[in-house]
Amino acid sequence: MARGGVLMSAGAAFEGFLPGQRTVSLPAQFFTEVLPAIEDADELRVTAYALYAIPRPGQVAARRASELLAEAPLARWFAARGGMKAGRRALDDAVARGVLLALPLEDGDALLFVHTEGGRRLRERIAAGTESVPGGARVAAMPEPAVSSRPAAVYEQEIGMLTPSVGAALAEAEQQYPAEWIVEALREAAKRNARSWKYAEAILRRWAAEGRDDEGDARHPGGRPPNPYDAVVRRGLDG
């Protein structure tokens, strides 16, 4: 009901946040790109809770899926919505969306990470065995990943999470450039440690204007000279 122009809940009203609570920092992209795209209540619940629960101070920023779903806020939610099976399905949706990263474990569980640069690097270290799995479990053997030629898949492999805006930019680029150009530009950007679509797009524009580096040039055997604007592009992106 409304009272004084303010909507009032029929249940007990939240009495406000207590002083001294730990604050949680979320990337602006969560609110501008991820949140508007999530339509399922279960996926939204586990995504929001995982962003809070995984990067806890003083702990390795990775959590078992089973432990995450067993925590009271999620356990209460899923108790009436299909239990652990529904919770795992919601986590799978969050991983498929690219907000979370997963690493399968030998015991059938999975280790979850927030999909940030730090989360990707931690997952790589644990998968490679250079950092131990929290709790002493072992990482499940994984097949060698297939080399993809799809720009969207290569973007996720080489650059990061595929957001709606980047997906739209890739679709537009595929109307202008051959798919193999886009794939190679993404890999070139990653190789130069300039992991952004803007940098890869700058490479595509240069290739369109000057020709591919691997097409050769009589004046520069082995390829065309380095792009003199690379440093300018990099400064612009870093700024």
Which residue spans of the chain are classified as CATH 1.10.10.10? 30-128
pLDDT tens-digit readout, 108-142? 899 999 999 899 999 989 988 888 887 777 888 76
Q: How confident is the model at residue 13 (pLDDT cuts 50, 70, 90)?
A: confident
**Cα 48–Cα 9–Cα 39 angle in degrees, nearest 5:** 35
Q: pTM score > 0.75 for this model?
A: no
Which residue in 154, 214, 208, 228 sits closest to 186, CA to CA?
A: 154
| Phi, psi for residue 156 in degrees, rounded to 5 | -65, -35
Yes or no: is domain 30-128 CATH 1.10.10.10? yes
Half-sphere exposure of 164 (CA within 13 A, CB side): 10
CA distance linking residue 186 with residue 157, whole number of Å: 10
Which residue in 29, 32, 24 sits closest to 55, CA to CA?
A: 24
User: Residue 217 pLDDT > 50, yes or no?
Assistant: no
**Average pLDDT for 1-20:** 67
pLDDT tens-digit readout, 196-209? 899 999 999 999 98
pLDDT tens-digit readout, 140-190? 876 555 555 688 888 888 888 777 788 888 889 998 998 889 999 998 988
CA distance linking residue 37 with residue 234, whole number of Å: 30
